[in-house]
Structure 1
Amino acid sequence: MQLVETAPHEFAAHFLFAEHGLSPFFACDRRVKEGGGSQRATFQYESEEWEASLSYRDSGLAHPGATLPTGTSFELDEMREFDLYIHSCYDQVGERSLHAHIAPRWQGMESKNGKSISVPDDLDEGVNLHIQGSNIEFERYQPLIRKAAASVGISPGYFRQLHEFSTILDAERYVRLHEGVSGSVHARDGPIAQLGHLLENDRQGRRKLVQYDSDERGRNQPGYYHTATLGPRRIREAFPEHELPKEIKHYYAKEAAGLDSGRALSHPKVGVSYQKSFWDDQLGASASALEQLTVELEETLFSVLAEAGVPLQTGMGTYVEDAYFSAEESNRNRDVVELDFTQIKHRQESVVIKHIADGLAPTAWDALQVLVTDGGEISPQEIAEEADRHPGSVRRALDRIPELVEREYGSVSLRSKYIADLVHDAVKEAKEATRRAAEAGAKAMEAAERGVDESTSAFIAWAAKHDIDVQDRDGGDLKLDFGKVDDIRKKLREGFDLWTSANMPEERYRMAKVRYREDVGSKGNYLSTSDVKSFATTAWRLLD
């Protein structure tokens, strides 16, 4: 299936070159001096004209002296670093460009304030290019640098072989949607919000869900800036074949609210970006790494759009062309992974229900109560202190519920916001059940003290235990309010059997006014968040 062609947006990387040692650095210094402080040139790349400029800046590195620690002669009088700017001559907007900050690397290098600079152990000497660019295909950055270097008199061969420690820092791909069809993407129950709420950890600072519906000037702009950022563990719950942490976002330009709808910038972008800060690993800059990056960003973007009901083909006024997004169909094949939030919910519900149904040890209950009420990072030791339990027993209890909690670096947290909500409901229900049991016992004792027989007190205790409001006034109808109940017929029959066992009038119970609430979404799962509806009827309609 041919899908819409996504566009590259931001890109940042460290390109490290070591094959020719410091020769590229010395070449930059020589060419800048020969040009009186800078060099400028134009060149052709893929039938497009580009302009390159090379200049210098002061360096924060300490001068190594006449000889480097590696033994290489260093004949420069002053430390400099270099800037290579490249931009498209055909770009009318001026945002299709890249900047490469060129700095030397050698073992034992230091900053001017004496701070040691980290250099890979297997790199004796080389140069690092800190790349920042936008609106250029990811795989074109290195060829553009080589072409630009050649145009200003530096050998392109210096920038042919990337060192294995080269790494991607930031990358985004996007489409621009017509504002009339983008609402389902940023809706409160849309895919961005659901990804943020269901899949991210609730306690470790790794969940980032942002929902701004007004711009910096306070102007109303629904969907102005909505993002969900997920680490690699969470992203795999939705995309099992993916590993890169990502941010999914729906956003408008700052000036969008004041623009006519005929302008492209008045319509929002939907993008997916790589988030290096959300994991401890790194993504290399090789051809295979760039392919993985593009595939994962596009597959995530298409899946979010599909979940929101947005067509993935061009036409029908869905997409809006801008200076860098062509709104054309792509020749690349991409998988559209179905974001089955129902399955994710059920998977997370099932582990909670399993542990609740199997019965939790008192220490585990105490730990869960602390976790759902505490607002920050917390350790097993802190749980033990707050719950007045032995730290060892807390750790053993946590080990028995691994599907509910995560333990890392001495801290413990509930596995997701959704699980946190489910556990909160379960803990609350357990507290209510304890309260009702205590009230049931008290009311049974009170009935016994008043001389009420045992069978009557059994009905009173049953009603208190299940939080059933019984109104039985002389001259009025019997009224039974069951609240929320899974199986009203079964519960009503329990009460009827106890009522008749107490020799109370059968017809009075059968004519009782009954009120109850029932989950009409996923009936039978008391932890469900589905819709709940209220009903009113007469007891005999449900008993017969």
Structure 2
Amino acid sequence: MTVLVETAPHEFAANLLFNERGLRPYFAADSRVKAGGGSQAGMFTYGGEEWRAKLYYQESGLEHPGKTTPKGTPFEIENLREFRFSIHSVDDTVGQRKFNAHLSPRWLGMKSKNGGEIPVPEGFGEGVNLRISGANIEFEEYLSLLRCAASSVGIQPGDFDDPHEYSNIQDAERYVRLHKDVSGPVHARDGPIAQMGHLLENDREGYRKVVQNDQTGRGEALPGYYHTVTLDQRRIQEAIPSHALPKEIKHYYAQEALSFPDGHPLRHPKLGASYQVNRWKGKLGVTTEDLEQLNRELEETVLSVLANAGIDLRPGGEVYVEDEYLSKKESERERQIVELNLIQIRQTQESVVIKHLADGLSPVEWDSLRCLVTDGGQVSPNNIAESTGYHPDSVRRALNRIDDLVEREYGSVSLRSNYVAELVHESVKHAQEATQRAVEASSKALEAASRGLDEKTSAFIAWAAKHDINFNERSSGVSLKLGKLDEENHRREVRRILREGLRLWEQAKRDPALYRAGNYRYQVEERANGLLYAESKSMTRTVCGKVWETIQ
């Protein structure tokens, strides 16, 4: 079995519903608080650890049901209150291993004091809801700790034995803490967090959240301070097909990280994956199977991001940093390292664009794509037609022909991803530049002819304009400054261009030795894993060479 680093639980929130014993847990909490003069405290041991519990009340915003509930249960409490369990580990020196459980009654037809209806599941009858919110506790331990806490303050633990099927998890995160000197590849501009947001988010449709903040709240520079990407169910399955839960993946530091010395855990960042309940229409319950799925998906997401960034997944060494709740130990769980499909997605999206460019796009297809790239809002085929001057039916037929580049839903259309948008944008820009160069080449040839230069010389000048070449002739040889070339086959391409230039130079009756003795230079757009970087400005290199060495 592969030895993997252990992840630690962080935040957790859930709604636990109980109706097996009706309103009995609520009445019991009311009775115990009154008996204690406003609160009850207790101590218990769980997992070899000492815990303290406190039960207290808060005023309620619920409407009093009267003498009986709608179901007919006597309600002899004059002042309707709600209750809270505060539960924390006594052995925790940091004080963050704790949770709070907010207990409130539930019955069909319940309303708030301002008349608003409180949602209660159909068929639920009567019972209680406990809203749990905690941190640094294994997810499957909350219910056991709740029962122990209830018992310690005089409430039957059996009142919380069987959560109703409508119980659900609202938030959960697992994390590792990385040494600050090794976490850079995770939050880099071409790292897995940025790539997931860059490749998997639709251009306009759906929820988008990509944050790349390298500055603390005090304005101090801290690379990787808060970098996150949030993906809904559809997008997470594009990256990790075996997963179903929407998630946020984040690399983040504590707010005061820079105030701690290097040896302190909070000087180093966390990499976490958290469940995002609002990003899908499904529900995650609290059964053993649900909790196992939650743990598995969060852990596999963290491990997969680490693997994608090239970071060692084995515990020990200087990669991971221990804190109060995370130790550099081997995981006892069997987890699968899921290879993120980012490269495959990037290649697929790139090949789709290249296919259309190679096949040639009609004017209406070009103009439709250009409209989608430049417009920032919701765009319909009719909007495109109005913007471009084409008939709406022509636009719709064009969109049908490029349906693997675009997504259409409810009468609107958008590009499939940011990456496709950038590729199309670059293609449109290059096409415009090529057209401009062609016009420039023609005008320069005409200008040369008007100055009395012969046809062959005009052809050489047009060749230089066509290929965006800045040409200078010196006594020692020519100087050729080409434009930007793609990394793939750039050497073959420059050889072809230079040989064509030599042929035209000779046809113009110029000294070939002067041309051969010349120098050239051009820029190459770098690629990552064979694919073009998004930020080409900072990802280019200059190539220099001698003409005669290249064309021989």
TM-score normalised by the chain length of structure 2: 0.87
The structure 1 residue matched to 2:512, chosen from 492, 507, 510, is 507
Q: How far did residue 330 of structure 1 move?
A: 1.7
Q: Does 1:251 align with 2:252?
A: yes
Q: CA offset at residue 95 of structure 1? A: 1.2
Please report how far the alpha carbon of residue 421 of structure 1 lies from its aligned counterpart in structure 2 after TM superposition.
Answer: 1.9
1:58 maps to what in 2? Answer: 59
Whole-Å separation in 2 of the counterparts to 1:111 and 1:90: 40
Instruction: State the 1:251 CA deviation.
Output: 2.2
Aligned 8 A contact 2:186 2:306 in 1: yes
Give matches, 1:353-502, under 5 Å.
Answer: 353-443=354-444, 460-470=461-471, 479-485=479-485, 486=490, 487-497=493-503
Q: 2:477–2:519: 8 Å Cα contact kept in structure 1? A: no
| 1:390/1:117 CA distance change after superposition, 3 Å | farther
Structure 1 distance, partners of 2:384, 2:367, is 8
Q: 2 CA distance for matches of 1:321 and 1:476?
A: 65
Mapped to 2, the partners of 1:316 and 1:179 lie a distance apart of: 14
CA distance in 2, matches of 1:477, 1:259: 61
Deviation string 1:409-437 (CA, Å, 9 cap, x unpaired) is 44433333322221211110111122223
CA distance in 1, matches of 2:325, 2:287: 25
| Contact kept? 1:470, 1:480, Cα under 8 Å | yes
Contact 1:14 1:167 in 2 (8 A): yes
Q: Is structure 2 residue 266 aligned with structure 1 residue 265?
A: yes
Asked whether the 8 Å contact 1:185–1:305 carries over to 2, the reply is yes
Following TM superposition, by how much is the alpha carbon of 1:219 offset from its aligned partner in structure 2, in angstroms?
Answer: 3.6
Per the alignment, residue 78 of structure 2 pairs with: 77
Query: C-alpha offsets along residues 458-512 of structure 1, whole Å, 9 cap, x if unaligned?
Result: 5554444433445579x89555443234412223344455556x56447368537
Rounded Cα–Cα distance in structure 2 between residues aligned with 1:493 and 1:260: 61
1:154 corresponds to which residue?
A: 155
Report SS of the residue matched to 1:52.
Answer: strand
Task: Please give the alpha-carbon distance, in whole angstroms, between the structure 1 residues aligned to 2:105 and 2:515.
Answer: 90
2: CA distance, partners of 1:50 / 1:147:
9
Residue equivalent to 2:5: 4
* Alpha-carbon offset, residue 8 of structure 1: 0.6
Q: Which amino acid aligns with 2:125?
A: D
| Cα separation, 2, equivalents of 1:166 and 1:403 | 40
CA deviation digits over 1:358-383, x for unaligned, max 9? 22232232222122223344444433
Q: Residue 217 of structure 1 aligns with which residue?
A: 218
Partner of 1:92: 93
Could you say what secondary structure the match of 1:367 adopts?
helix
Structure 2 contact 505–512 (Cα < 8 Å) conserved: no
**2:130 aligns to what?**
129
Any conservation in 1 of the 2:444–2:462 contact (CA below 8 Å)? yes
Higher mean C-alpha deviation, range 164-173 or range 449-458: 449-458
CA distance in 2, matches of 1:19, 1:448: 96
1:338 to 2:339 alignment = yes
Helix, strand or coil at the partner of 2:169: strand
Unaligned segments of structure 1, at least 5 residues: none
Query: What are the within-5 Å matches in structure 2 for residues 106-121 of structure 1?
Result: 106-121=107-122
Distance 2:332 2:345 in 1: 32
Tell whether the 8 Å contact from 1:2 to 1:332 is kept in structure 2 after alignment.
no
Q: Shift of residue 285 of structure 1? A: 2.2
What is aligned with 2:351? 350
- Does the 8 Å CA contact 2:228/2:250 hold for their aligned counterparts? yes
Q: Name the amino acid aligned to 2:495.
A: R
Return closer, same or farther for 1:407/1:118 CA change in 2, 3 Å cut-off. farther
Distance change >3 Å, CA 304–CA 189, structure 1 → 2:
same
Shift of 1:11: 0.4
Counterparts of 1:472 and 1:219, CA distance in 2: 51
Q: In the superposition, relative to structure 1, how do residues 403 and 16 fare at CA in structure 2: closer, same or farther (>3 Å)? A: farther
Confirm or deny: 8 A CA contact 1:482 1:514 kept in the other structure: no
Distance in 2 separating the partners of 1:268 and 1:453: 68
Shift of residue 10, structure 1, vs aligned partner: 0.5
The match for 2:303 is 302
What is the TM-score when the length of structure 1 is the normalising length?
0.88
**Structure 1 residues 219 and 471: CA distance shift in structure 2, 3 A:** closer
Root mean square deviation, CA, Å:
3.1
Check if 1:200 corresponds to 2:201.
yes
Measure, in 1, the Cα distance between the counterparts of 2:68 and 2:391. Answer: 62
On the 8 A contact 2:478/2:517 being kept in 1, the answer is yes
Distance in 2 separating the partners of 1:520 and 1:469: 19
8 Å Cα contact 1:478/1:508 also seen in 2: no
Identity %: 57
Once residues 456 and 307 of structure 1 are traced to their aligned partners in structure 2, the CA distance between those partners, rounded to angstroms, is 54
Distance in 1, Cα, partners of 2:248 & 2:329: 24
TM-superposed CA distance for 1:322, in Å, is 1.8
Paired AA for residue 213 in structure 1: D
- Superposed displacement of residue 191, structure 1: 3.0
- 5+ unaligned residues in a row in structure 2: which ranges? none
AA matched with 1:217: R
In structure 1, distance between residues paired with 2:128 and 2:76:
17
Distance verdict in 2 for CA 1:512–1:121, change over 3 Å: farther
- Which shifted more, 529-538 or 421-430? 529-538
Paired residues of 1:213 and 1:225 also in contact (CA < 8 A): yes
Partners of 1:272 and 1:528 in 2: how far apart? Answer: 26
| Corresponding residue SS for 1:36 | coil
Amino acid at match of 1:513: G
1:481 to 1:324, Cα distance in 2 relative to 1, 3 A: closer
- Which residue identity lines up with residue 296 of structure 1 in the other structure? E
> In the aligned structure 2, how far is the partner of 1:417 from the partner of 1:294?
30
Deviations 1:300-352 (A, max 9, x none): 11122233333222222333222211222221121222346544432321122
Q: Which residue of structure 2 lines up, in the alignment, with residue 226 of structure 1?
A: 227
What secondary structure sits across from 1:271 in the alignment?
Answer: strand
User: How has the CA–CA distance of structure 1 residues 392 and 98 changed in structure 2, closer, same or farther, with 3 Å as cutoff?
Assistant: farther
Partner of 1:312: 313
Q: Judging changes above 3 Å, is the alpha-carbon distance between structure 1 residues 56 and 464 closer, same or farther for their aligned structure 2 residues?
A: same
CA-CA distance at 1:133 after TM superposition: 0.5
Question: Partner letter of residue 267 of structure 1?
Answer: H
Q: Does the CA-based 8 Å contact 2:525-2:532 persist in structure 1?
A: no
Deviation at 1:75, TM superposition (A): 3.4
Instruction: Give the alignment of 1:256-295 within 5 angstroms.
Output: 256-295=257-296
1:513, 1:536 within 8 Å by CA — same for their partners in 2?
A: no
Give the aligned residue type for 2:483. Answer: G
The separation in 1 between residues aligned to 2:531 and 2:270, in whole angstroms, is 40
